[in-house]
């Protein structure tokens, strides 16, 4: 009997994509979310993983409300870090790999070239700090893989693409969008396939995985509007014009050279990924 793949946070946009990608490869996969598993409950985590004896556990569960983390850092730490320790302990008990999803927010965002896996981390926000603690907890698993990604969007979640589309559908003729934050928009469907490939390659350590290329939020919004055939003006503005409780990285492009060396390819260009996502959304 093949050992299954377990996925936490399976209702979220990435969790759904991972479950679908695994099933598409013929893998036995079981997903859990908060209604059936509280990952902050170490005993419950141990029972689930102990009974299933999986090949690997993919942790897509996280406290991702970046601004709320600034005032609820203890809660975010419990979910983004302490719970990861529970998963790591349970994985060690059954010899399973732990795949932990992390973020560009572990870097300070002041760089000028794509961040490599071994670059110094220096999170500027509570969210980034809690996710960095989660990385450290994941490393207590004897076999672990930490996948850092960024600017995620996908089916069944709240994200930038959906927000821009809603504004267009609501008749907005002018969109003001931040133009001085640079990153790589990443489609959960593409990331999930890469994640399954990395599991198949028995990868370990830390790997950066984002769609190829980089743009600003303004550039991203402009491409969304173009792809939708929307007649809207997208006006570039500065981060200072949209103050938020949590600081955002000015530059968070991730170097995916290690991903390419492990799997033989990079993720497709972000423009291609966006077009496929929008086409799939229309079909559904």
Residues with a catalytic annotation lie at 127
H, E, C per residue of 201-222: CCCCEEEECCEECCEEHHHHHH
Contacts of 37 (CB under 8 A, 6+ apart): 8, 44, 45, 48
Hey, how many other C-beta atoms are within 10 angstroms of the C-beta on 238?
A: 10
Q: Tell me if residue 158 falls in helix, strand or coil.
A: coil
Q: Using the 8-state DSSP alphabet, how is residue 7 labeled?
A: E
Q: Tell me if residue 258 falls in helix, strand or coil.
A: helix
Residue 91 in tokens: 């994985």
Q: Tell me if residue 56 falls in helix, strand or coil.
A: strand
Instruction: Find the distance separating the first CA and the last CA of the chain, reported in whole Å.
Output: 35
Q: Using the 8-state DSSP alphabet, how is residue 17 labeled?
A: H
User: How many Å apart are CA 43 and CA 19, to the nearest integer?
Assistant: 24
Strands (E), the chain: 5-8, 29-32, 56-59, 97-103, 144-149, 152-153, 174-178, 182-183, 186-187, 205-208, 211-212, 215-216, 233-237, 267-269
> Are 80 and 27 contacting, i.e. CB atoms less than 8 angstroms apart?
no
């Amino acid at each position: 009997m093949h050992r299954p793949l377990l996925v936490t946070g399976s209702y979220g946009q990435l969790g759904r994509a991972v479950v679908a990608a695994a099933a598409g490869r013929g893998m036995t996969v079981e997903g859990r979310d908060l209604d059936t598993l509280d990952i902050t409950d170490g005993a419950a985590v141990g029972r689930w993983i102990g009974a299933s004896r999986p090949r690997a556990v993919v942790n897509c569960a996280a406290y991702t409300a970046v601004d709320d983390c600034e005032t609820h850092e203890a809660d975010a730490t419990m979910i983004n870090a302490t719970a990861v320790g529970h998963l790591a302990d349970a994985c060690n008990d059954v010899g399973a790999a732990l795949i932990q999803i992390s973020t560009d927010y572990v870097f300070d965002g002041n760089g000028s070239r794509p961040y490599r896996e071994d670059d110094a981390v220096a999170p500027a926000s509570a969210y980034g700090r809690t996710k960095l603690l989660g990385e450290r907890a994941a490393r207590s698993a004897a076999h672990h893989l930490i996948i850092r990604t960024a600017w995620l969007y996908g089916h069944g979640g709240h994200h930038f693409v959906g927000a821009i589309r809603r504004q267009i559908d609501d008749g907005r003729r002018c969109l003001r969008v931040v133009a001085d934050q640079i990153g790589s928009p990443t489609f959960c469907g593409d990331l999930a396939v890469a994640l399954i490939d990395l599991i198949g390659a028995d990868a370990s350590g830390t790997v950066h995985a984002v769609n190829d290329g980089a743009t600003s939020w303004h550039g991203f919004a402009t491409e969304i509007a173009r792809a939708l055939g929307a007649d809207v003006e997208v006006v570039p503005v500065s981060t200072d014009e949209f103050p938020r409780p949590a600081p955002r990285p000015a530059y968070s492009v991730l170097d995916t050279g290690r991903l390419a060396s492990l799997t033989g390819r990079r993720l497709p260009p972000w423009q291609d990924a966006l077009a496929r996502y929008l086409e799939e959304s229309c079909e559904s």
